[in-house]
A = this chain, B = another copy of it.
Amino acid sequence: MLARKDLWYSEYHSNDVKLSFNIAEYLHEEETPFQKIAFMKNETFGTFFTLDGYIMLTEKDEFVYHDMITHPAMATNPDIKNVLIIGGGDGGSARELSRYKHIERIDMVEIDERVVRLCQKFLPQTAEVLDKDPRIHLYFEDGLAFAKNAKDGEYDLILVDSTDPIGPSEGLFTYDFYSNCFRILNEKGILINQHESAFFEDFRSEMIRAHQKIKKIFPIAKVYGFNTPTYASGYWYFGFASKKLDPIKDHDKEKWESFGLKTKYYNSDLHGGCFALPTYVRQILEAI
């Protein structure tokens, strides 16, 4: 009898807890000036890729993350026309935005061109939109510098679709960066950013650090969560920061539903639900 192919990829959620995936096919790996990239295939989760050993997305659960990074903001201000994506090299955030016909411009600033090129090859589900929608403009630059050089009030929405605050993404979790985001957003501007997760200590401390800074800069700074099976603890958070729009009070359900978008995770009820945080998470944020 042939032995089962016993190749496993593991991600550590703490030094003594790990989530492992049996690798049906090891597709590709390379080292760029910025990070190590690897593409693999698992039967249950499909093709997935890692940056410096952290899972970025899998074919089967990326819909959760990409629904949740885009639609709550779009349903709070359905008139958003100019969007800046920092990171997001896999194309999933751009794909969801490109479904809104009234959006005029999507600037996507990804520091590592190889992430985009490899996703175009191995993950067309998210990346194929990148050379098909002329509203998407790719910039292979440092997001921090890009934000510094952008004009005041240029954007309606900024999505920080980055890795955790290690390696090339570290600058995207700084006070300087968030201040520039505030400056280049217009008066109805919204910033959605990585808020990590709350259960495991390492991620929780990053959540606190990110939220501390955002709260000092933006008058409205809320947090919402979503269930991503492949991220640590199974629950991940985004920050919703804005100059004046409140995601609950200004939720424009009717207009958003009039767009007729089919979504597999997000819906109008969940819009409110995802901002209702567990008590321990609320306490972490209130203590800041």
Binding site for B on A (CB under 8 A): 10, 14-22, 24, 42-45, 61, 64, 199-200, 225, 227-229, 231-235, 263-267, 269-270, 272-280, 282
Contact = CB atoms under 8 A, between A and B. Distances in A.
A66 to B, nearest CB: 13
A191 B229 CA distance: 28
Contacts of A233: 227, 229, 234
A274 B273 CA distance: 7
Q: Which of A17, A263, A280 has the most CB of B within 10 A?
A: A17
A209 to B, nearest CB: 21
Contact of A227 (B43, B225, B265): B225
Given A18-B20, A22-B16, A22-B17, A229 B199 contact: yes
Contacts of A272: 272-273, 276
Contacts of A235: 227, 229, 234-235
Contacts of A45: 17
A97 B146 CA distance: 55
A199 B228 CA distance: 10
A232 to B, nearest CB: 8
Given A22-B16, A43-B16, A44-B17, A270 B277 contact: yes
A231 to B, nearest CB: 8
A71 to B, nearest CB: 11
CB-based closest 9 A-B pairs: A234-B234, A273-B276, A16-B22, A273-B273, A227-B235, A229-B233, A269-B276, A14-B44, A265-B278
A232 B272 CA distance: 25
Contacts of A16: 21-22, 24, 42-44
Contacts of A275: 273
Contacts of A19: 17-20
Contact of A267 (B20, B21, B279): B279
B227 A278 contact: yes
Nearest to A280: B264
13 contacts: A16-B24, A16-B43, A17-B19, A61-B199, A227-B233, A233-B234, A264-B278, A265-B279, A269-B276, A270-B278, A272-B272, A272-B273, A273-B275
B225 A234 contact: no
